[in-house]
């Protein structure tokens, strides 16, 4: 028995019941072929900016992905891309940019002059002759191959093929790996370019000796450093190897003896990563799958289930689909269910050697009827693909026996549910009531600290076997919202819990009163999982001793209360100050204007005199500016009265004051000088 006070809110606990169902889907996610989700992701990851991509490499990757996935509403970048292609082909360009310009041109078919191809071919031949690194050889020879495909009459043959071969061989390593640059470190990633320009099968086989493997038969390549400085992940490394091996297999006359399970394992790796969020990884995934689908070594076939959770109550049929990695139809074949067994009884098979029926309309292989031995729980179904044409085994990789986890859900029977109040010492029943957990029965009980509360019920599967759910909790909630959770134990089919209130008084904080009773029973394969109120019990507990009175813990905060919408706040503003009557304000305004009126009247009475106004140009300018500054000060006073705030007015007045100080000093100096000259005369 386990007591967990102050658990999370009711909503959080009820949602916990659903996590097991979701975990089923995650745990048995079987990678299927490429779907429309990949096409939608391609349009999102390869979205051009202002009608074009950042580089020709990105342009090629986008166009290649659209081509492989047959995306219908792909963006049109021909108008903006072809000028870039022609520019890179017609001017000195780094080998990598030239390589991708030719790749883009192979898809867009831009109008390139034949003489341009001839000029590029001659330069590339010279580069191959002087190349010192594998990357230069890769881009140079790869570009010559692309020119041959786009302009067949251009001479791309190497004059010294044997010398080129020896240069490549000098970069080899004994483990099948290669040096990517002039540094001595070997690289799995660099082996792919070698495979595309060399013809040594043994090195390819050595390379596959370093392949990594998961327990489910997934194969991949991985390395941490390339050339001692560049990091390559498992996706790019595995893609590089697939690209190189496929290119070599396409041009060699013989067959590469690679096991079909490794080819199928590589396909599982690329399908198992789902939809990468990075455009480069997405391109590597799609192109690798396209190469695996069309390679000459072994074409992988993918067995997938539309669903791995089936309902016994709905009598769901088990359906299996077989496709190539890109979703194309598989050759004629038969899918057999070799055996099926429960994970709890691996030695006891419920199905043996059952052939699934092929539905031509849906393209599924269907197991229409399940045997009566199938009960709720987890099973492992072992499938096997058998090709109708025996020669097809040389072309396709089926992977042998394929183990698939399958979940069966159903209605679990809940019976013999009882709740009772027992006497503590004798264990005799004082009150006992029968519960219908499938209905809405509510009970009302009462007990004291010397009594016990017992709850019991039975759970059986559709076949009558004992069933143990993932969750079986009994919760008591006090009227003050304090919660107590107990785990309901079981012995076989019977689940029972007995709460001894005498030993729980401290856990209950000596709180008497009403406790609501709630039962939670849930499991991922139990279709009728429930969280059900059973009623309440009036509990009479003793008063807490003064010396050891427990402190009540803080109540758990409902997440909806903490993070949900808050109550609307109504702002209360201060009441405006009482203002004087309008007439009094107007009278005060008139009084403030009296000094200005008196000044104007004084000017009229005294008369305006311009005799001392300077006649020279420079002093006259200072005099005019001085009077304009005075006028600006007066205008500023008016604006302050009407609209300006105090700080704006003070800053403006400070600037005008500096201006007036300067021009006023100048004009007053002129007047003083003139006056001194008149007196001396």
Q: Is residue 16 part of a domain?
A: no
- How far is residue 483 from each of residues 4, 8, 351, 498, 537, measured CA to CA in Å? 8, 9, 47, 17, 14
Question: Could you tell me the sign of the dihedral formed by the alpha carbons of 226, 230, 233, 237, in that order?
Answer: negative
572 pLDDT above the threshold of 90? no
Distance, in Å, from the CA atom of 176 to the CA atom of 221, rounded to the nearest integer, reads 13
Opening angle at CA 119, ends 117 and 120, nearest 5: 65
Centre a 10 Å sphere on the Cβ of residue 449 and count the other Cβ atoms it contains: 18
My answer on whether 468 and 359 are in the same domain is no
193 pLDDT above the threshold of 70? no
Q: Which helix (H) or strand (E) holds 421?
A: strand 413-423
Under the banding of pLDDT at 50, 70 and 90, the label for residue 440 is: confident
Say which residue the tokens 């019990």 belong to. 537
Give the pLDDT mean for 494-514.
92
Centre a 10 Å sphere on the Cβ of residue 679 and count the other Cβ atoms it contains: 7
Question: Given 239, 263, 297, which residue is the final one in a domain?
Answer: 297
My answer on whether 460 and 541 are in the same domain is yes
- Dump pLDDT digits (tens) for 316-335: 999 999 999 999 999 999 99
604-607, long-range: CB < 8 A, 24+ apart: none
Q: Is residue 502 a contact partner of residue 475, using CB atoms and an 8 Å limit? A: no
Quote the pLDDT of residue 6: 36
Under the banding of pLDDT at 50, 70 and 90, the label for residue 62 is: very high
Q: Give the 3-state secondary structure of residue 412.
A: coil
How would you classify the pairing of strands 413-423 and 318-324? Answer: unpaired
My answer on whether 387 and 265 are in the same domain is no
DSSP letter string, 424-450? TTT--EEEEEEE-TTTT--EEEEEETT
Quote the pLDDT of residue 176: 42
Centre a 10 Å sphere on the Cβ of residue 487 and count the other Cβ atoms it contains: 13
Residue 259, token pair as written in the block? 């096991």
Question: Given 274, 297, 320, which residue is the final one in a domain?
Answer: 297
Question: Given 409, 425, 454, which residue is the final one in a domain?
Answer: 409
Give the pLDDT mean for 274-300.
92
Task: Give the closest residue to 264 by CA, choosing from 395, 399, 403, 157.
Answer: 399
The region that residue 427 occupies, defined by phi over 0 for left and psi between -120 and 50 for alpha, beta otherwise, is: left
Quote the pLDDT of residue 18: 42
My answer on whether 308 and 293 are in the same domain is no
Quote the pLDDT of residue 264: 92
- Dump pLDDT digits (tens) for 199-258: 456 777 778 888 899 988 899 998 754 444 455 788 999 998 898 888 888 877 777 888
151 pLDDT above the threshold of 80? yes
Opening angle at CA 180, ends 197 and 68, nearest 5: 60
Quote the pLDDT of residue 19: 41
Q: Is residue 551 part of a domain?
A: no
My answer on whether 422 and 523 are in the same domain is yes
Distance, in Å, from the CA atom of 107 to the CA atom of 77, rounded to the nearest integer, reads 12
Q: Is residue 610 part of a domain?
A: yes
How would you classify the pairing of strands 219-220 and 530-540? Answer: unpaired
The strand order across the sheet containing 471-478 reads: 3-5, 483-487, 471-478, 513-522, 530-540, 443-448
Task: Give the closest residue to 57 by CA, choosing from 72, 43, 46.
Answer: 46
- Dump pLDDT digits (tens) for 345-357: 888 888 889 999 9
Q: How far apart are the first and last CA of the chain?
A: 122
Quote the pLDDT of residue 662: 92
Residue 346 φ then ψ, to 5°? -70, -25
Centre a 10 Å sphere on the Cβ of residue 248 and count the other Cβ atoms it contains: 23
My answer on whether 511 and 486 are in the same domain is yes
381: β partners: 340, 404
User: How many helices (H) and strands (E) in the chain?
Assistant: 17, 23
Residue 213, token pair as written in the block? 């493997």
Q: Is residue 553 part of a domain?
A: no
Q: Is residue 291 part of a domain?
A: yes
DSSP letter string, 342-411? ETTEEEEEEEEEEEPEEETTTTEEEE----TT--SEEEEEEEEEEESSGGGGGTEE--SEEEEEEEEEBP
606 pLDDT above the threshold of 60? yes
- Dump pLDDT digits (tens) for 297-313: 899 999 999 998 999 99
Question: Could you tell me the sign of the dihedral formed by the alpha carbons of 536, 537, 543, 547, in that order?
Answer: negative
Q: Is residue 447 part of a domain?
A: yes
Distance, in Å, from the CA atom of 415 to the CA atom of 214, rounded to the nearest integer, reads 45
Quote the pLDDT of residue 23: 45
Residue 459 φ then ψ, to 5°? -125, 125
My answer on whether 328 and 389 are in the same domain is yes
The model's pTM is 0.68
My answer on whether 452 and 511 are in the same domain is yes
My answer on whether 424 and 526 are in the same domain is yes
Range of the domain at 335: 302-409
Task: Give the closest residue to 68 by CA, choosing from 272, 321, 294, 266.
Answer: 294
Distance, in Å, from the CA atom of 382 to the CA atom of 340, rounded to the nearest integer, reads 6
Q: Give the 3-state secondary structure of residue 339.
A: strand
Q: Is residue 492 part of a domain?
A: yes
Distance, in Å, from the CA atom of 446 to the CA atom of 444, rounded to the nearest integer, reads 7
Give the pLDDT mean for 414-427.
86
Of 5-9, 51-55, 170-174, 592-596, give the range with the top mean pLDDT: 51-55
| CA-based max dimension of the chain | 138
Q: Is residue 519 a contact partner of residue 437, using CB atoms and an 8 Å limit? A: yes
Centre a 10 Å sphere on the Cβ of residue 632 and count the other Cβ atoms it contains: 16
Distance, in Å, from the CA atom of 643 to the CA atom of 622, rounded to the nearest integer, reads 30
Quote the pLDDT of residue 167: 76
124 pLDDT above the threshold of 80? yes
Q: Is residue 287 part of a domain?
A: yes
Residue 234, token pair as written in the block? 């498992």
Under the banding of pLDDT at 50, 70 and 90, the label for residue 180 is: very low
Centre a 10 Å sphere on the Cβ of residue 199 and count the other Cβ atoms it contains: 13
- Residue 142: HSE in the Cβ half-sphere, 13 Å Cα cutoff: 25
Range in 395-409, 461-475, 508-522, 574-588 the model is least confident about = 574-588
Quote the pLDDT of residue 672: 85
Say which residue the tokens 């309440």 belong to. 536
**CATH code of the domain in which 400 resides:** 2.60.40.1080
538: β partners: 446, 514
The region that residue 92 occupies, defined by phi over 0 for left and psi between -120 and 50 for alpha, beta otherwise, is: beta
Residue 378 burial (CB < 10 Å; 0-12/13-18/19+)? middle
Q: For the chain, what is the mean pLDDT? A: 84
Task: Give the closest residue to 446 by CA, choosing from 419, 481, 474.
Answer: 419
More confident residue, 155 or 606: 155
Of 18-27, 151-160, 480-489, give the range with the top mean pLDDT: 480-489
Domains identified in the chain, total number: 4
My answer on whether 326 and 366 are in the same domain is yes
**CATH code of the domain in which 492 resides:** 2.70.50
My answer on whether 354 and 256 are in the same domain is no
Quote the pLDDT of residue 162: 77
Quote the pLDDT of residue 297: 87
Opening angle at CA 259, ends 253 and 262, nearest 5: 115
Q: Give the 3-state secondary structure of residue 557.
A: coil
My answer on whether 421 and 401 are in the same domain is no
């Amino acid at each position: 028995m386990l007591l967990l006070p102050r658990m999370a809110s009711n909503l959080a606990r009820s949602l916990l019941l659903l996590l097991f169902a979701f975990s089923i889907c995650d745990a048995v996610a079987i990678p299927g072929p490429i779907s429309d989700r990949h096409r939608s992701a391609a349009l999102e990851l390869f979205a051009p900016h202002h009608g074009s991509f950042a580089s020709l490499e990105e342009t090629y990757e986008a166009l290649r992905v659209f081509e492989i996935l047959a995306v219908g509403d792909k963006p049109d970048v021909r108008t903006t891309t072809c000028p870039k292609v022609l520019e890179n082909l017609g001017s000195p360009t780094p080998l990598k940019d030239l390589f991708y310009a030719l790749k883009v041109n192979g898809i867009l078919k831009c109008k390139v002059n034949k003489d341009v191809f001839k000029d590029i071919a001659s330069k590339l031949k010279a580069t191959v002759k002087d190349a010192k690194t594998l990357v230069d050889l890769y881009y140079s020879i790869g570009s010559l191959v692309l020119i041959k495909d786009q302009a067949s009459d251009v001479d791309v043959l190497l004059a010294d093929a044997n010398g080129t071969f020896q240069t490549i061989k000098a970069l080899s390593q004994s483990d099948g790996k290669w040096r990517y640059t002039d540094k001595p470190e070997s690289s799995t990633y660099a082996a792919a370019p070698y495979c595309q320009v060399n013809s040594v099968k043994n090195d390819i086989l050595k390379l596959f000796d370093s392949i990594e493997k998961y327990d489910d038969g997934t194969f991949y390549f991985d390395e941490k450093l390339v050339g001692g400085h560049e990091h390559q992940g498992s996706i790019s490394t595995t893609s590089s190897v697939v690209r190189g091996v496929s290119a070599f297999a396409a041009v060699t006359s013989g067959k590469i003896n690679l096991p079909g399970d490794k080819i199928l394992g590589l396909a599982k790796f690329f399908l198992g990563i789902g939809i990468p969020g990075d455009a480069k990884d997405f391109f590597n995934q799609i192109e690798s799958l396209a190469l695996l689908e069309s390679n000459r070594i072994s074409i992988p076939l993918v067995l997938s289930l539309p669903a791995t959770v089936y309902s016994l109550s709905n009598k769901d049929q088990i359906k299996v689909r077989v496709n190539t990695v890109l979703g194309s139809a598989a050759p004629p074949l038969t899918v057999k269910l070799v055996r099926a067994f429960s994970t709890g009884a691996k030695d006891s098979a419920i199905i043996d050697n059952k052939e699934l029926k092929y539905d031509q309309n849906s393209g599924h292989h269907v197991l229409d009827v399940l045997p009566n031995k199938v009960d709720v729980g987890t099973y492992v179904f072992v499938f096997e693909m058998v090709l109708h044409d025996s020669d097809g085994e040389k072309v396709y990789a089926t992977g042998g026996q394929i183990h698939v986890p399958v979940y069966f859900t159903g209605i679990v029977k809940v019976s013999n549910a009882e709740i009772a109040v027992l006497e503590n010492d004798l264990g005799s029943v004082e009150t006992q009531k029968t519960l219908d957990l499938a209905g809405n029965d509510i009970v009302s009980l009462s007990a004291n600290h010397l009594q016990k509360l017992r709850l019991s019920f039975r759970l059986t599967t559709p076949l009558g076997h004992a069933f143990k759910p993932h969750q079986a909790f009994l919760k008591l909630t006090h009227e003050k919202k304090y919660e107590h959770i107990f785990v309901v134990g079981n012995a076989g089919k019977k689940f029972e819990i007995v709460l001894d209130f005498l030993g729980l008084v401290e856990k209950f904080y000596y709180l008497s009163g009403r406790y609501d009773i709630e039962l939670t029973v849930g499991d991922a394969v139990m279709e009728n999982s429930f969280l059900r109120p059973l009623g309440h019990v009036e509990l009479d507990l003793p008063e807490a001793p003064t010396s050891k009175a427990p402190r009540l813990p803080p109540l758990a905060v409902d997440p909806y209360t903490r993070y949900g919408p808050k109550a609307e706040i109504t702002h209360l503003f201060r009441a405006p100050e009482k203002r004087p009557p309008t007439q009094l304000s107007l009278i005060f305004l008139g009084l403030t204007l009296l000094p200005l009126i008196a000044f104007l009247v004084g000017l009229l009475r005294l008369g305006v005199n311009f005799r001392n106004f300077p006649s020279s140009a420079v002093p006259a300018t200072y005099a005019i500016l001085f009077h304009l500054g005075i006028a600006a000060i007066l205008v500023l006073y008016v604006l302050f009265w009407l609209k300006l705030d105090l700080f704006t007015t003070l800053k403006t007045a400070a600037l005008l004051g500096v201006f007036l100080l300067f021009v006023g000093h100048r004009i007053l100096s002129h007047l003083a000088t003139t006056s001194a000259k008149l007196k001396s005369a």
